[in-house]
A and B are shown apart, each in its own frame.
Chain A
Amino acid sequence: MWKYISKRLAMVSIVLMGVTLVAFSAMCLAPGDPAEVIALARYGEDLSASQIETLREAEGLDAPVHVQYLIWLNHLLRLDLGKSLVTSEDVLAEIRQKLPATAELAIASLLISLLIALPAGILGALRKNTLLDKSCMFVSLVGVSIPNFWLGLLLIWLFALTLHILPSFGYGSLKHLVLPALTLGTSMSAVTARLTRASLLEVMGQEYILAARARGFDEHTILFRHALKNAFLPVVTFAGMQFGYLLGGAVIVETIFSWPGIGKLLVDSIFARDFSMVQGCVLFIAVLFSLSSLAVDILYAVLDPRIRYDRRD
């Protein structure tokens, strides 16, 4: 198992290396002279050529690109993501401040999606090809095809504008959480439900399920003691990846509901041309995503003895 984990760790470090390269070069490749871009973002007007030169030196932009990268990397390693071009706030501090809202939304959406998807998927598999199964799968097909923003608007229309029982945007109370979490949760549940169903169906067709039946166990015991643990393996992976994705901020949903999370920060920074903030957000999202996929891999190893114990020992 340690071999497996260290392999994954090595892989994640390579991916992260690549991420820093991409994030850095995105800055360099952005149209226009970086110094001018910074000047424009920070002071909002054209500066004279000499002022720009001063700024270039001050920001270290006159050094060769690879030196700039190494310096930037050095800062990164000390968790220094630089300062916002617009507000001069520390980028990491800003992100850290937005993280709780995003995490709250991520956890709530994941819970909602699993609460819908697991029972639907399991029921679908157990009652394969019945009306119940077919309607579950039809609803989830619709769920897969509906874009998030549309579902969000629909929910706002229904619960906020028509029924007046929930606020349409904002942050602070449990009531505010309901609509964005419902939007994300239901749309995520569609794929998870299908995956759960397919996975459980496959497991139920395995010879070891028949063998368990041959030992006289009832279907309830077979499902809970024999089938689910196997069937959940791919579902855990998928839900973990989804969670990692959500932690990076659900850009569209956070924007629609004015949810003060990382996704909204990213969008706002893009509109404000706050490049260092955008870069910081992208980097943060990529790191979170890689780490959560690492966490999922480790969880997988814990759940699956075929990985936990190497064949050799």
Chain B
Amino acid sequence: MNPPILSIEDLNVSFKTSKGIVRANEGISLEIREGEILGLIGETGCGKTTLGKAILRLLSGKAKLEGKIVYRDTDLLTLPEKEMRCFRGKEIGIMLQNPSACLNPVLSAGRQIAEIYRYHEGMGKKEAEKKAGEMLELVGISSFRGCEYPHQFSGGMLQRVMVAIGLALRPGLLIADEPTKGLDTDTKLQIVELIAGLVRKENSSMLLITHDLELAGRLADRIAVMYAGEIIEIGKAAEIISNPKHPYTLDLLHSLPGKGFRTVPGQPPSLVSPPSGCRYHPRCSFRLEACSQVHPELLGFESERLTRCFLSEMGRIKETAAQPSLNSQPSLNSQPSLNSQSALKCAEEETWHC
């Protein structure tokens, strides 16, 4: 297992707004390892973008950040702004959501790439433009389009320009926020394969933020699932997809076109006053009585796998006390048995204590 390139420890991010304090990230702890692609998934409004921006300290002044974000050996949250700038772009690249808004409309695409080299590497105009051209070619745009302006590119092409900008300085970590949003299926695949290919080739790491579980499953090494500002499940991508342990992950999987297309009922909650107990309980079809009162911890019972749900704690029970009633099928198929009241009843007593 590679050492982490970025580790986030107990990160809390909140925004002061007129409606109250929005707790967009709560108690986030995760690692991104060297050379790893970590998928971060969850519905809109779960705090994914906030987490991505928090890493580079790009949130507005209203945001309050607590905790630790350590890149290699540096805690980014304690750095003075001036030193923080050396990390942006150079060590950690970010492709923000919505490329058409992220590119300056009055500067040509080539210039927006070239100026990165001029600023960070002190290159002259000619040299920087040449590098920008190479970068464009690398992402599949012919270099003579460098003189064109953002509004002259299609959505997929704009996203490629964003990739070129994000990777211009060969950062150790690339954060890609919804790089496929608004693209058609074919373009989607091309773009993510392009990004993932370049990241793997450089042996860089990537945080791939997406609401597309399928995409994350295809590209990521590990997946973290976020709900209402919290990480609720994290593990190897293949395992998350084949054997989701958290009901939310399961519901997300069921909402995939190939897996029933059943959208998760209800809406993600407001982060000003999230539901008590387990934040997913109002929408959860496996809800126990305890769920609305006690907040489950993110716990791991297998290596590399953490889940924030009482059911998975009972999974542990399952192996000891409740073994007969909960058979050992993967939980994707075990919906009926998970629902079976007798099994839950006997386990519930245990859950109360945590």
Contacts and interface: CB of A to CB of B under 8 A. Distances in A.
Contacts of A208: 101-105
Contacts of A225: 107, 115
A211 interface: yes
A309 B89 contact: no
B119 A206 contact: no
Nearest to A227: B104
B151 A311 contact: yes
A154 B172 CA distance: 64
Interface string A217-232: 1100100011001100
Interface string B38-77: 0000000000000000001010000000000000000000
B40 to A, nearest CB: 17
Contacts of B286: none
Interface string B70-101: 00000000000010011111100010101001
B6 to A, nearest CB: 16
A304 interface: yes
A216 B89 CA distance: 6
A236 to B, nearest CB: 12
A305 B107 CA distance: 8
A306 interface: yes
**Interface SS majority for chain A:** helix
B89 A207 contact: no
B154 to A, nearest CB: 11
B157 to A, nearest CB: 13
B116 A215 contact: yes
Contacts of A303: 106
Contact of B88 (A207, A216, A226, A230): A216
Given A215-B165, A216-B119, A305 B58 contact: no
A110 B107 CA distance: 28
B16 interface: no
A271 B1 CA distance: 93
A213 B101 CA distance: 14
B106 A229 contact: yes
Contacts of B102: 207-208, 210-211
B120 interface: yes
B104 A212 contact: yes
Contacts of B104: 208, 212, 226, 230
A300 to B, nearest CB: 11
A83 B151 CA distance: 53
A10 interface: no
Contacts, number: 74
Given A213-B58, A305-B151, A230 B89 contact: no
Interface residues of A, number: 25
A214 B94 contact: yes
B152 interface: yes
B120 A230 contact: no
B152 A211 contact: no
Contacts of B58: 210, 213-214
B149 A213 contact: no
Contact of B149 (A210, A212, A309): A309
Contact of A206 (B87, B90, B101): B101
B152 A311 contact: yes
The residue in A206, A217, A229, A230 that gathers the most chain B C-beta atoms within 10 A of its C-beta is A217
A58 B57 CA distance: 82
Contacts of B85: 216-218
B108 to A, nearest CB: 8
A199 B236 CA distance: 48
Interface in B149-190: 149, 151-152, 165, 168
A221 B168 CA distance: 18
B287 to A, nearest CB: 39
Interface of B: 56, 58, 82, 85-90, 94, 96, 98, 101-108, 115-116, 119-120, 148-149, 151-152, 165, 168
Given A226-B107, A313-B152, 8 more contacts: A207-B98, A210-B102, A212-B104, A215-B89, A217-B115, A217-B119, A225-B107, A309-B148
Interface of A: 206-208, 210-218, 221, 225-226, 229-230, 233, 303-306, 309, 311, 313
Pick the 8 closest A-B CB pairs, nearest first: A216-B89, A216-B88, A211-B102, A207-B101, A305-B149, A215-B89, A208-B104, A214-B94
